[in-house]
Amino acid sequence: MASEDAASEALSFSGLSTLSLYVHLPFCRRKCPYCAFYSVVPRRGEIDACLEGLRNEIVLWKDRSGFLPPLRSLYIGGGTPTLLDRRQWELLISLLEGAFSFDRTAEVTVEANPESLRAFHLRLWGEWRVTRVSLGVQSLDDDELRLLGRLHDGRGARESLAALAASGLAFSADLMFNLPGQTLKGWHRTLREVLAFGMDHLSLYDLTLEEGSAWADSPPGGRTSGYPFYRWAQWYLASRGFFQYEIASFARNRRWSRHNLAYWIRSPLLAIGPGAWGFCRERRYGNVDDLGGYLGEVAEGRLPLSAGECLLPERAFREAALLALRTAWGIPFRLFARRYGKAALETVLDALKGLPDGLFAVTDESLALSAKGMRVANAIWERFL
Ligand code: SF4
C-alpha cells in the first residue's frame, strides 16, 4: 500500500508536450452479463452529479500538474455516453472546452449505443469537434443480441448505422464473435451487412468471460472457439481493404484510432471519471470505481485515486513490449532501446526466440506480429511474461 500511495503522490502530468484524455461516463440502462467495466444504472440526479465531479476532478489535476498541454486525442467512453441528454452533453462540452485546449488535428471520439443514440447527439457532435463515433453494435442478429443482454435489436443497430453514415461523421462499429450458437455463416452476414454502411473502422472482440462480469460465475453454454471466427474476419476484412493495425482493430484509409494507439505506445493518458484508468511516465493509476466514493473524494478536494502503481523497470519494458506487439507496427528497435535501454530490448527479443518464424514480421527496424501471430497472441503473451 505504501508504494501505491507513493506512486499516487508522484503522479503528475506536468512538463508534457502532448496528452490524451479519457472521460469515463459510468452509466448504462442495464448491465450486460459479459461486461466488467464499471457502470451503474443512473438514479435521478446522478449524471449531473458526475458531471460536477468531473469538473472538480479536472481542477484537482490542474492544481497538481500546472499547465496541461493541448489534447492530441480525447475519448468519451463508458458506460453509455448517449444516456446523457442534450443539456448534459452541452454541459460536458462546455466544461471540456473551458478546461482544455486541443491540437488543431485532435482526434475526438465518442462512444454510442444504438438504443440511446438520438439525432440531437449527432447534430451536437457534428457542431462540436467530434471526429469519430464508436457504436456498440455487437451483432445484427436479434437472437445474439438478446443473449448478450443488449437493449437494441438488429433493426435498431441498422438505424443507428444509417444515421451515422448520413451524419458525415467518421464511425466505427464494435462487433463480438464466439457467441453461443453463433455460426460462421451468421458472422459473415453481420460483417458484410455492417460494412455496407461504409465505415472505415471496426473493432472485433472475442466474447471473453471477464472477472467481475455476471457471466464469469455462470458462463453461458454453447461457445466453442473464437479462432475460426477471427481467422475468417482477418481474411475477409483484408479482402475489403482493411488493414489490421491492432489485434482487435481494423481500419481502411488510415482511419485508425489515434487515441487507442496512444494507449498501446504508452503515451501519457489523463483519465477522469469513476473507475477510469490513466497512465503517465511509467505510473499507472485507477480512480475509485464507485460513484458515491468518487464524488465524495473530489468534493473534499482529493484526487479520487484508488490504485496507483509505479512500474519497476523490468515490468515497464515487458508491458511496453507486449502493448507494442498488439499493433501492426510492433516494437520499433531504436525507440524502444532509447526509452528502456539496449539490455531491455535484448531481453524482449530473447524471450521471443524459439517461437515459429511465421508468427512475426521482422525488419532491420522493428519486430511485429504477423496475421498468424495475432491469432495466437495469447499464447505468445504467456510465454513472454
Ligand atoms: S457492455 Fe457497454 S452497454 Fe453493456 S454494461 Fe458494459 S458498458 Fe454498459
Residue 2, pLDDT score: 41
Cis bond upstream, residue 358 (ω within 30): no
Contact 83, 116 (CB under 8 A): yes
Residue of the CA atom closest to atom 1 of ligand 1: 35
Residue 9, pLDDT score: 64
Atom of ligand 1 nearest to the CA of 113: 3
C-alpha cell at 288: 475509485
Contact 281, 320 (CB under 8 A): no
Residues in CB range of 379: below 8 A, 6 or more apart? none
Closest Cα to residue 188, out of 245, 144, 238, 229?
229
What is the DSSP secondary-structure string of 318-344? HHHHHHHHTBTT-EEHHHHHHHH-HHH
| Least reliable range by pLDDT among 44-48, 166-170, 352-356 | 352-356
Q: How far is CA 273 from the centre of its chain?
A: 15
Residue 119, pLDDT score: 98
Using pLDDT thresholds of 50, 70 and 90, give the confidence band for residue 221: confident
- Beta-bridge partners for 246: 249, 327
Residue 1, pLDDT score: 39
Q: What is the pLDDT of residues 51-89, one digit of tens each?
A: 999 999 999 999 999 889 999 999 999 999 999 999 999
> Which of 27, 80, 135 for a ligand 1 pocket mutation test, highest count of atoms within 8 Å of Cβ?
80
Does residue 331 register a pLDDT over 50? yes
Residues in CB range of 307: below 8 A, 6 or more apart? 4, 284, 285, 286
Contact 274, 268 (CB under 8 A): no
Q: What is the pLDDT of residues 275-292, one digit of tens each?
A: 999 999 889 999 999 999
Atom of ligand 1 nearest to the CA of 150: 4
Q: What is the pLDDT of residues 141-150, one digit of tens each?
A: 999 999 999 9
Does residue 211 register a pLDDT over 70? yes
Q: Which residues line ligand 1 (CB under 6 A)?
A: 28, 31-32, 35, 37, 39, 78-80, 113, 136
**Domains of the chain, each with CATH number or no CATH:** 6-264 (3.80.30.20), 313-385 (1.10.10.920)
Q: What is the pLDDT of residues 111-161, one digit of tens each?
A: 999 999 999 999 999 999 999 999 999 999 999 999 999 999 999 999 999
- Dihedral (CA of 180, 186, 192, 194) sign: negative
Atom of ligand 1 nearest to the CA of 36: 6
Q: What angle do CA 359, 237, 111 make, to 5 degrees?
A: 105
Cα separation of 110 and 171, whole Å? 9
What is the DSSP secondary-structure string of 104-151? EEEEEEEEE-TTT--HHHHHHHHHTT--EEEEEEE-S-HHHHHHTT-S
The bridge status of strand 170-177 relative to strand 132-138 is: parallel
Exposure class string for 268-297: b at 16+ Cβ within 10 A, else e: bbbbbbbbbebbbebbbbbbbbbbeebbeb
The bridge status of strand 19-25 relative to strand 71-78 is: parallel
Q: What is the mean pLDDT of residues 299-305?
A: 95
Q: What is the mean pLDDT of residues 5-18?
A: 77
Q: What is the mean pLDDT of the chain?
A: 94
